[in-house]
């Protein structure tokens, strides 16, 4: 989250693609994986809730802003009744250091008794999700599941059980695209790519 306030090292990049080192997952691979995740999640909630699915559908919660693109595609790949909401959090850490997490926007829907699916773009240290899970459990969520587009393992600090994962990232690269940003740029790329190190401000 702190990267959103950091300017590009070279403001004169000719295009978004100029700052990209390599594409990790292209648009076709992402859409295929999202369809697979949506089908799997739908089956799991049908099995979990049975006939109660229509009366108490899962609440799909996107973590704003990075997950908005993934959230939109994932919901359309889930052919079951569902409701949607989002939360917004902010970390006051500097750089890669851990910081205080603040909830800027809470659910507009009561969490009590709801089966909640958290949708995240990338799980890095795990601290934000850990904070959010504790918050929702305290508010009486009936169940919590986590779906992450990318599981970035090298910087994990808090163990977080991820129920659904799109892709594993085993390297400590800064990734952008498909909703993920650097300095609020690159969210609109249709693929996920590693950013060139020289594009990052020191």
Enumerate the active-site residues. Answer: 124
Neighbour tally for 176: CB within 10 Å: 25
Calculate the CA 164 to chain-centre distance: 11
């Amino acid at each position: 989250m702190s990267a959103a306030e950091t300017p590009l090292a070279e403001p004169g990049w000719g295009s978004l693609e100029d700052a990209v080192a390599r594409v990790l997952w292209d648009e076709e691979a992402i859409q295929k994986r999202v369809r697979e995740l949506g089908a799997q999640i739908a089956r799991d909630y049908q099995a979990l809730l049975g006939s109660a699915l229509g009366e108490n559908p899962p609440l799909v919660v996107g973590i704003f802003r990075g997950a908005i693109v993934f959230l939109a595609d994932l919901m359309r790949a889930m052919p079951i009744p569902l409701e949607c909401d989002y939360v917004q959090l902010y970390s006051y850490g500097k750089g890669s250091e851990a910081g205080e997490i603040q909830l800027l926007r809470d659910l507009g829907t009561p969490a009590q008794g709801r089966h909640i699916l958290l949708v995240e773009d990338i799980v890095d240290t795990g601290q934000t999700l850990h904070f959010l899970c504790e918050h929702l459990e305290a508010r009486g969520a009936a169940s919590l599941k986590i779906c992450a587009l990318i599981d970035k393992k090298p910087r994990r600090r808090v163990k977080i059980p991820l129920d659904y994962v799109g892709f594993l990232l085993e390297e400590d690269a800064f990734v952008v695209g498909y909703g993920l940003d650097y300095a609020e740029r690159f969210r609109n790329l249709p693929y996920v790519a590693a950013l060139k190190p020289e594009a990052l401000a020191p």
